Amino acid sequence: MKNRIILLLLILAGAIATQAQRSQPLFPQTPGMVSFTYRNSFAKDVAATLDTLKALGITDMEFSNLFGSTAPAIRQMLDDRGMFCSSFGVSYADLTTKISEVGVNAKALGAQYVRVAYIPHEGPFTLDMAKKVVEEFNKAGKLLKEEFGITYCYHNHGYEFVPYGGGTLMDYLIEQTDPKYVSFEIDILWSFIHGQDPVKLIQRYPTRFKLLHLKDLRKGATLNTSGGTAVENDVALGTGQLDIPAILKEAKKAGIKHYYIEDESPAYARQVPQSMAYLRGL
């Protein structure tokens, strides 16, 4: 009888623990925001747009543009609102020709990361292009780390998933760049639309991704390898094709540092609050 009671108590304790685990939020923090989501608003009034985002609870920003202002001025606006810029996005041209200016601006913003999201190219992305990119990334990443204490990240855009060897040219970029100086930001939509599983990509390189763009692809939108899709195909998180919970679980295991909502759709003003509510409910 005593052993049966002990067994029942153990079963009950296990059930309670399991239920407690299930009731824990998968994404307890507030996501960050990519400035590109509110690009039209930022172009008109940076301060007012930051007020809008702060009212939504957003404090973590990834700026991809200075919107006619200066890095110190934006930093002051962020400080005044209890907000911060964790990542600063720049063009490939600026990374390769104005690296010191990039570092100074990133430092002024208070950013921990500098990010490039697109490599200019014509036609398919090739191995020769990838080799040049690796060289440039290692060079820029080393300077940013050693002179400014900033980590360089490359944001995938889809065209990098050209087959190469047993994998893709994205694998080549990750494997050939120096992990001391080059990290990555995974855009889950651009990975998915090119036939990649973001979960498996993170699993394959669990220490290389530091940042993540939260996006979802409209149901019915077709996968392609063009490096683009209609902006209307960006939909509120949880309403599209991506398995957001599975991706977040793997990202948490990998220790990804910052998560930013990026919604390129004209309906972003309605969809961003919807996405945030979805994340809270996971």
Q: What is the reported pLDDT for 136? A: 98
Q: What is the reported pLDDT for 9? A: 44
| Cα end-to-end distance, the chain, whole Å | 41
Q: What is the pLDDT of residues 246-268, one digit of tens each?
A: 999 999 999 999 999 999 999 99
Q: What is the pLDDT of residues 167-202, one digit of tens each?
A: 999 999 999 999 999 999 999 999 999 999 999 999
Beta strands in 94-177 (DSSP E): 113-116, 151-155, 163-164, 167-168
What distance in Å separates the CA atoms of residue 37 and residue 55, rounded to the nearest whole number?
Answer: 16
Q: What is the reported pLDDT for 13? A: 44
Q: What is the pLDDT of residues 44-69, one digit of tens each?
A: 999 999 999 999 999 999 999 999 99
Mean pLDDT across the stretch 191-214?
A: 97
Q: What is the pLDDT of residues 88-111, one digit of tens each?
A: 999 999 999 999 999 999 999 999
Q: What is the pLDDT of residues 139-162, one digit of tens each?
A: 999 999 999 999 999 999 999 999
Nearest to 260 by CA among 60, 43, 88: 60
Burial class (CB in 10 A: 0-12, 13-18, 19+), 145: middle
What distance in Å separates the CA atoms of residue 64 and residue 260, rounded to the nearest whole number?
Answer: 12
Helix (H) or strand (E) holding 258: strand 258-261
- Domains with residue ranges and CATH for the chain: 26-281 (3.20.20.150)
Beta strands in 83-229 (DSSP E): 84-90, 113-116, 151-155, 163-164, 167-168, 182-187, 209-214, 216-217
Q: What is the reported pLDDT for 28? A: 94
Q: What is the reported pLDDT for 228? A: 77
What distance in Å separates the CA atoms of residue 32 and residue 268, rounded to the nearest whole number?
Answer: 15
Mean pLDDT across the stretch 23-48?
A: 96
CB atoms within 10 A of CB 156: 25
Higher pLDDT, 73 or 9: 73
Contact (Cβ atoms closer than 8 angstroms) between residue 221 and residue 233: yes
Q: What angle do CA 25, 35, 170 make, to 5 degrees?
A: 75
Q: What is the reported pLDDT for 5? A: 52
Q: What is the pTM of this model?
A: 0.90
pLDDT tier for residue 18 given thresholds of 50, 70 and 90: very low
Q: What is the reported pLDDT for 32? A: 98
Averaged pLDDT score across all residues of the chain: 93
Contact (Cβ atoms closer than 8 angstroms) between residue 109 and residue 75: yes
What distance in Å separates the CA atoms of residue 74 and residue 109, rounded to the nearest whole number?
Answer: 7
pLDDT tier for residue 17 given thresholds of 50, 70 and 90: very low
Angstrom CA distances, 149 to 78, 104, 123, 180, stand at 21, 11, 35, 12
